[in-house]
Amino acid sequence: MMNLRIPVCLSSIALGVSIMAGAQDKVLGSTEVAQWKDNKKASFLLMFDDGIPTHLKNVIPELKKRNFIGTFYLNPEVKWYSKDKWEKDAKEAGMVFGNHTMTHAGAKNAAQAEDDISRCNEYILKMNPELKQPRLISFARPGGVDWKVTPDEMKAIYAKYNLVPRPPSDARFGGIHIKNADGLIKVVDLAVEKGGSERLFFHGVGGDWLSQSTEDFVKMLDRLDANREKLWVTDPISMHKYETERNGAQVKILESGEKGIRIVLSTSADANLYDLPLTLITKVPAAWKKCKITQSGKTVTAEAANGEVQYEALPGKDEIQIRTE
């Protein structure tokens, strides 16, 4: 399997010399940002709309069984919403919650949209008070209802409430565009084959509306599970954070030699909202087999192979120190 890496701009402070991407493999301390977390080939998103009963009954238990997460776009004021189960069971299962408006009633104007969206945002933030605030939340506009809000008005709402619109469906809705297990599995296989990012969307699973059968859904999860070494199954905000930080990443070499390596990782992304560790691959002496990586007073040990070591680090934090064990 070929993993994609993103070359980052490197500069040596001590020497004042720019090191271009083409020369990275010749320089100790040269560092690349992996395309995705843990150097996986592709990211993969599982998203579920409307916060409906079959998500609690059929979806979350199957996700939990495989240690996968899903993102559930909630409408907390609709009649089918099971408040206690979402706030306790789904939260304890480690699921992620997205903003689908409070009522799923549509919007006649921007003021109505903002009220419906902001109240849902407040609800979601209160569901996970242990998470830092402010923070980014994924947003999906409800379908099947009138939405008389301009793109510019929506952009203003996104900015005000730290919302990130989720990726477009692009004919990847189970139960609507995709009718069977083969169609779902095809999307998984596409991610494995081509890399990049892929996604699947669902309403009901094994019931409710616009439903995909539970059997088809489980077959898709099994294919995902069989390829978990290649796929980062994550949520839209984590993917967005990683991609944004990665695209604005820079590394500066402070020290590079047989005795140790010191680098600084930065990104152009706003550190108050973009705070996900990046996976780095750093060139180290070929004789090193185990490395100790230290940042912000925390040390981890990682295996080195073929003169490289892979690890995670936070942009914008303290310098990264790499030593042989």
41-73 per-position pLDDT tens digit: 999 999 999 999 999 999 999 999 999 999 999
Collapsed DSSP state (helix, strand, coil) of residue 81: coil
Spatial separation of the C-alpha atoms in residues 276 and 25, rounded to whole Å: 26
Of the two residues 7 and 73, the one the predictor is more confident about is 73
Q: Is the pLDDT of residue 255 over 60?
A: yes
Spatial separation of the C-alpha atoms in residues 132 and 281, rounded to whole Å: 28
Structure tokens at 213: 């059968």
What mean pLDDT do residues 21-49 have? Answer: 87
Of the two residues 226 and 14, the one the predictor is more confident about is 226
Q: Is the pLDDT of residue 262 over 80?
A: yes
Residues 6+ apart with CB under 8 A from 195: 4, 35, 41, 42
Residue 2 pLDDT:
45
Q: Between 214-226 and 181-194, two packed helices, what is the crossing angle to 10 degrees?
A: 20
Residue 78 pLDDT:
97
Query: Confidence band (pLDDT; 50, 70, 90) for 245?
Result: very high
What mean pLDDT do residues 12-22 have? Answer: 33
Contact 137, 98 (CB under 8 A): yes
Q: How, if at all, do strands 298-305 and 290-295 pair?
A: antiparallel
Q: Is the pLDDT of residue 137 over 90?
A: yes
Structure tokens at 18: 């720019």
Structural domains in the chain, sorted by start = 5-40+240-324 (no CATH), 43-229 (3.20.20.370)
| Percentage, residues of the chain above pLDDT 70 | 92
Alpha helices in the chain (DSSP H): 53-54, 60-65, 83-84, 91-92, 110-127, 151-161, 181-194, 214-226, 236-247
Residue 317 pLDDT:
78
Contact 210, 203 (CB under 8 A): yes
Contact 120, 99 (CB under 8 A): yes
Residue 8 pLDDT:
54
Is the pTM higher than 0.95? The answer reads no
Residue 18 pLDDT:
32
Query: Confidence band (pLDDT; 50, 70, 90) for 7?
Result: low
Contact 31, 8 (CB under 8 A): yes
Q: Is the pLDDT of residue 23 over 60?
A: no
Q: Is the pLDDT of residue 216 over 70?
A: yes
Q: Is the pLDDT of residue 15 over 70?
A: no
Structure tokens at 309: 């070591």
Spatial separation of the C-alpha atoms in residues 116 and 109, rounded to whole Å: 11
What mean pLDDT do residues 37-44 have? Answer: 98
